[in-house]
Amino acid sequence: MHRRFATALAASTLALAAVVGTAATAEAAPADKPQVLASWTQTGASSYSAWNAARTNQSAWGAYGFDWTTDHCSSSPDNPFGFPFSTSCARHDFGYRNYKGAGTFSTHKTRLDSAFYEDLKRVCAGYTGGTRTACDSTAWTYYQAVKAFG
């Protein structure tokens, strides 16, 4: 009797372990998560566009477990002097939060800060004359702040 019970208990334990193991695997982020994250945090405009498209359709990327939260430009104005920097700040937050979550932030910080600066300069490219100069100066200031304190 004890032998049958022990055999049944062992079989049940193995079956439960298999189910739990399968569930854990099903909930794990896809293997290409690091590649997707890297592709969305490069300095180029196409990287920014791909990230922004994904941001507007976050549910399609739910299996990846990305952290989309943002405080935009933290304690700095999101739209200083009317320059719309908030989306650039949101992408910068995305990179910081997800690389910190992956435990590889220090390896990627310089690139993330550079991508942020390039995003800000793309915002400024829509202006001319003195307004562009003011925007570029503000972008430089924001970049220097994240480079030093981010």
Q: DSSP label at 29?
A: P
State how far the Cα of 55 lies from the Cα of 45, in Å rounded to an integer.
15
- With b meaning 16 or more CB within 10 Å and e meaning fewer, what string describes 44-69? eeebbeebeebbeeeeebeeeebeee
Residue type at 98 in one-letter notation: N
pLDDT at residue 44 in the model = 97
Residue-by-residue DSSP string for 108-143: HHHHHHHHHHHHHHHHHTT--HHHHHHHHHHHHHHH
Tokens representing 50 are 């791909």
Q: Which of 132, 105, 35, 125 is nearest to 146 (CA)?
A: 105
pTM comes to 0.81
The Cα diameter of the chain in Å comes to: 91
pLDDT per position in the chain (150 positions), as tens? 444 444 444 444 444 444 344 344 446 789 999 999 999 999 999 999 999 999 999 999 999 999 999 999 998 999 999 999 999 999 999 999 999 999 999 999 999 999 999 999 999 999 999 999 999 999 999 999 999 998
- Catalytic positions are 92
- CB atoms under 10 Å from CB of 117, counted, come to 20
